[in-house]
Amino acid sequence: MSEFLNNIIKSVKDYFNKKEESVLGIDISSSSIKVVQLRKKRGKAILETYGEISLGAYANVENGRATKLSTQKITEALSDLLRESKVTAKKCGVAVPLSSSLLKIIKIPSVSERQLKEIVPIEARKYIPVPATEVLLDWNIIPKETSYSEEGEAQKADKIEVMIVAIHKEIINMYTDVLSQNNLESSFFEIELFATTRSVLSRGIRPVMIFDFGVSTTKLYVVEGGIIRESHIVNRGSQDLTLALSKSLGISFDEAEGSKRTTGLTRETDNEEDVSESTSAIMEYIFSEVEKTIIGYQIRYNKSIVKIILTGGGMLLKNIVDRTSEKFKIEVELANPFRKVEAPAFLEEVLKRAGPEFAVAVGIALRKLEEMD
Ligand X SMILES: Nc1ncnc2c1ncn2[C@@H]1O[C@H](COP(=O)(O)OP(=O)(O)OP(=O)(O)O)[C@@H](O)[C@H]1O
Q: Which of Mg ion, ligand X, none lies near 236, with the C-beta cut-off 5 to 8 A by kind? A: none
- Cβ at position 290, least distance to ligand X in Å: 16
The interface mask with Mg ion, positions 209-228, x = CB under 5 A, is -----x--------------
Number of residues that bind Mg ion (CB under 5 A): 2
Q: Specify the residue, 207 or 314, whose C-beta has the smaller distance to Mg ion.
A: 314
**CB closer to ligand X, 50 vs 148:** 50
Restricted to residues 96-135, the positions that interact with Mg ion (CB under 5 A) are none
- Chain centroid to Cα 353, Å, comes to 17
CA-to-CA separations, 113 to 107, 148, 289, in angstroms, rounded? 15, 21, 38
How deeply is 50 buried, as exposed, middle or buried, from its count of CB atoms within 10 A (0-12, 13-18, 19+)?
buried
Quote the CA–CA distance of 207 and 113 in Å, as a whole number: 29
Closer residue to ligand X in complex, CB, 32/199: 32
Amino acid type, 192: E
Q: Order the strands of the 307-311 sheet from edge to edge.
A: 227-234, 218-224, 208-213, 307-311, 331-334
State which residue, 75 or 100, has the beta carbon closest to ligand X.
Answer: 100
Report, in Å, the least distance between residue 313 CB and ligand X. 2
22 binds, among Mg ion, ligand X, none (CB under 5 to 8 A by kind): none
With CB under 5 to 8 Å by kind, the binding choice for 199 among Mg ion, ligand X, none is: none
303 and 205 Cβ atoms separated by less than 8 Å: no
Min dist. Cβ of residue 310 to Mg ion (A): 13
Concatenated DSSP letters of 97-114: -GGGEEEEEEEEE---HH
Sign of CA dihedral 333, 334, 339, 341: positive
* C-alpha to C-alpha distance for 103 and 101, rounded to whole angstroms: 7
231 binds Mg ion (CB under 5 A): no
CB nearer Mg ion, residue 27 or residue 161: 27
The one among 22, 29, 238, 311 contacting Mg ion by CB under 5 A: 29
Candidate segments 2-10, 207-215, 301-309, 328-336, binder of Mg ion by CB under 5 A? 207-215
Selection from ligand X, Mg ion, none that 208 binds (CB < 5 to 8 A by kind) is none
Nearer to ligand X, 287 or 301 (CB): 287
> Could you tell me where the DSSP H helices lie in 147-268?
169-181, 192-200, 238-249, 253-262
Q: Which does 30 bind (CB under 5 to 8 A by kind): ligand X, Mg ion, none?
A: ligand X
Q: What angle do CA 72, 76, 81 make, to 5 degrees?
A: 150
Which CB, 32 or 147, lies closer to ligand X? 32
Taking the complex as a whole, the smallest distance from the CB of residue 197 to ligand X amounts, in Å, to 15
The candidate with the shortest Cα–Cα distance to 30, out of 125, 98, 126, 116, is: 98
Distance CA 179, CA 71 (A): 10
* Residues binding ligand X (CB under 6 A): 29-32, 64, 214-217, 237-239, 257, 260-261, 312-314, 316-317, 357
CA angle 250, 256, 262 (to 5 degrees): 135
**Which are the contacts of 204, defined by CB distance < 8 A and separation ≥ 6?**
none
Quick one: what does residue 207 bind among ligand X, Mg ion, none, with the CB cut-off 5 to 8 Å set by partner type? none
Minimum distance of ligand X from residue 257's CB (angstroms): 6
22 vs 29, which CB is nearer to Mg ion?
29
| Nearby residues of 40 by Cβ (< 8 Å), 6 or more positions away | 20, 46, 369, 372, 373
Which of Mg ion, ligand X, none has residue 93 at its interface (CB below 5 to 8 Å by kind)? Answer: none
Write down the least CB distance from residue 101 to Mg ion, Å.
Answer: 13
Question: Could you list the residues that contact Mg ion (CB under 5 A)?
Answer: 29, 214
